[in-house]
Amino acid sequence: MTKQAKTELKTVLLTGFEPFGGESINPSWQAVKQLHGQSINDHQVECVELPCEFGRSLEHLYQAIEKHQPSLVLCIGQAGGRSHISIERIAINIDDARIADNAGNQPIDTAIITDAPAAYFAKLPIKTMFKGLVEAGIPAEVSNTAGTYVCNHVMFGLLHYIARHFGENDESIRGGFIHIPFLPEQAVHHGGAPSMSQTTVVDALKLLIKNGLSSEADLKLAAGTTH
């Protein structure tokens, strides 16, 4: 594939996941689907549910990118136990599954893509996005690990796709990954785990899209960790 042809209607692609790990819902898809068809910053939002499966999740993601030719791709996933909206900084080229995916696959210490780089940084203005959430009163953080399960698998696969088909310095498409907490109705079954309402998550996604599309240089502000 060469660089995508510009279409008159600019789009943002949001993805969420199907439930996994014994959950009956996945908060990522519950929130993402609320924005389908909406217009944000002159972009139409298109939403796709990904299977929680190694390999097949990327097939669905790539098909959606080809179909919608987005300017921005935000993949959203569940991070049970986290209390903040987590803007992921980096994806690593490894699958190391603590539990099997929804197809029964459990890769251990396996490269996501052979001969690809060890890691990719998100193609997003992550500090601008972080600051926007904090100023709106939404708990947020810059995260330096997307794990080694299907979420990291999708983030790495997305960034590799962008690098391969568009080039790492091409600003016509941006992409990255956002982790969100459990919904309250999930947290009650997990010993008081932190949660966040769907309304707050949807509001956060709107802000993330708006700031993710920003053409200004990313902010330089401290959002790191000591450990």
Establish whether 47 is a catalytic residue.
no
Q: Are 89 and 187 in contact (CB under 8 A)?
A: no
Establish whether 179 is a catalytic residue.
yes
Spatial neighbors of 181 by CB under 8 A, at least 6 apart, are 27, 79, 80, 81, 82, 83, 84, 85, 187, 193, 194, 195, 196
Which of 43, 52, 75, 88 does the annotation list as catalytic?
88
Establish whether 52 is a catalytic residue.
no
The single-letter code of the amino acid at 153 is H
Which of 52, 151, 153, 160 does the annotation list as catalytic?
151
The single-letter code of the amino acid at 86 is S
Give the separation between CA 27 and CA 151, rounded to whole angstroms: 14
Angle (CA) 95 85 185, round 5° = 90
Q: Are 20 and 116 in contact (CB under 8 A)?
A: no
Which of 68, 153, 160, 179 does the annotation list as catalytic?
179
Q: Which alpha helices (H) appear in the chain, and where do they start and end?
A: 27-32, 56-68, 126-135, 150-165, 184-187, 198-212
**DSSP letter assigned to residue 149:** S
Q: Any idea which residues carry the catalytic annotation?
A: 88, 151, 179
